Structures are given as C-alpha cells and as structure tokens.
Amino acid sequence: MELQENSVIIDDRLDRMLEPELGGHFTHAYCTAGQCEVTFNGQTFTLNEGGCMIIITNRLVSRFMPSEDFKVTVIYVEESFLQACTPHSNYGTRGGLSLYINPIMRLTEEEREICRRGFDNVCYRMEHPHRFFHGDEIMAALQQLFIDFYECHARIEGEAEISTQAAQVVNGFLTDIAYIFDFSSQSHFSRFVQNNLGQKPSAFRT
C-alpha cells in the first residue's frame, strides 16, 4: 500500500486524537516523562513515564489531564494503512478487544527499551521521506513495533485474561464490533468469537 501524506503522523501531542481529521487513525503513545490521566470509555486511566497506550477508537476518549512535565511520543496511523502493516496473527484482534477494557500497557525495563527503540525507528524512517523504499520501510518499522506490542500485551494480560476481557467487550459492543474490527461479514465475526471465546456472540448479550 502506498504511503499517503497523512497515513502516519508523528507528534508530541496526545490531544490531537480528538481532532476530526484523525478520527480514522489509531493512536499509539509512549510516555517519556511525567504522567497523563485519560478518560477512555467512561473510565480514567493514567499513562506514566515508560508506559504505552494504544487507543483504537478515538471517539471513546473524552478528557486529558497531563502533568506539567508530561512528554509523549505519539504515532497516529490511519486505519487502512494500519491494516496493511498488521502482522498475520489473530492476536491483533484478540488483543484489540481487551484494549477496550484497558488501553494502558505497563512495561518492564526491558520492554520499555524495546518499545522506545521501536518508536524511535518509526520516527527516524518518517524523517527520511526521500529514500527509495520509504513506504516499505515505514510499513516494516510499524509491523515490528506492533509485534513488540503483541509480546508486551500478551505477557501483561495472559491468554486467559484476554479471553475474559474480550467477552466483556463483546457484551458491550456487539452491534458494531464486527465493523470496527473489519470483519468481512457478521458470520465471520461470529465464527471468530466462537473459536476464541468458546461461545457464540449471542451468549454475551445482557
């Protein structure tokens, strides 16, 4: 896929996710100093130094309260470009479901260094747009960053916890979740839920 002008945006402002033109972007943030309270999906979370936050539905964010020393690197990725960069694993969908419950990843020292390098790599590639294979470089850098996210998130949440959280999300967003995660059909979504959560989507209705 060709890299368009606004496919990937690097910024140091977290509140840009509320801008209408970024409504179709996914937000990936790495906090380098201070902290910021974020109200997401009706709950307040705190992004601390050395932590990552992944917001896959910006419309569910309603409030920011950063500390005076808050610093952050943010990578906004347009949805269709993100899909092209996503690793070939169903963990992206499973992990994404649980991010509706908690978008914050608290990292170990080693994971912080890995994610920091991943962010720096994407930023470096974005700063050199005249390289012959610039678009491919960005896709490769993002894909590696996403794989690192998968590793960190799987360690933090664990397989069983992810399934439990995913069930909670299915219960709350059953009407539009198939569209949000780009399933080709409702039946495809139903098969995915049954295979990964052990029950049909209808079982999670309240």
Q: What percentage of residues in the chain have a pLDDT greater than 90?
A: 46
* pLDDT reading at 160 higher than 50: no
At 173, give phi and psi (nearest 5°): -130, 30
SS3 31: strand
Query: Dmax over Cα atoms in the chain, in whole Å?
Result: 53
**E strand intervals along the chain:** 8-11, 25-33, 35-40, 43-48, 52-55, 61-66, 71-78, 104-105
Taking the CA of residue 163 as centre, how many other CA atoms within 13 Å lie in the half-sphere pointing to its CB?
Answer: 10
* DSSP three-state, residue 12: coil
Q: What is the dihedral of CA 47, 52, 57, 61, to 10 degrees?
A: 10
pLDDT per residue over 93-148, tens digit each?
666 677 878 899 999 999 999 999 999 999 999 999 999 999 999 999 999 999 99
User: Which sequence spans correspond to the domains of the chain?
Assistant: 8-158
Unique residue bearing structure tokens 């390098």: 117
CA-CA distance, 205 to 12, in Å (whole number)? 40
pLDDT score of 206: 46
Domain 8-158 classification at class level: mainly beta
DSSP element (H, E) containing 157: helix 134-157
pTM above 0.95, yes or no: no
Contact in structure between 111 and 149 (CB atoms under 8 Å): no
Question: pLDDT tens for residues 170-186?
Answer: 555 545 555 555 666 66
Question: According to the model, what pLDDT value does residue 195 have?
Answer: 64
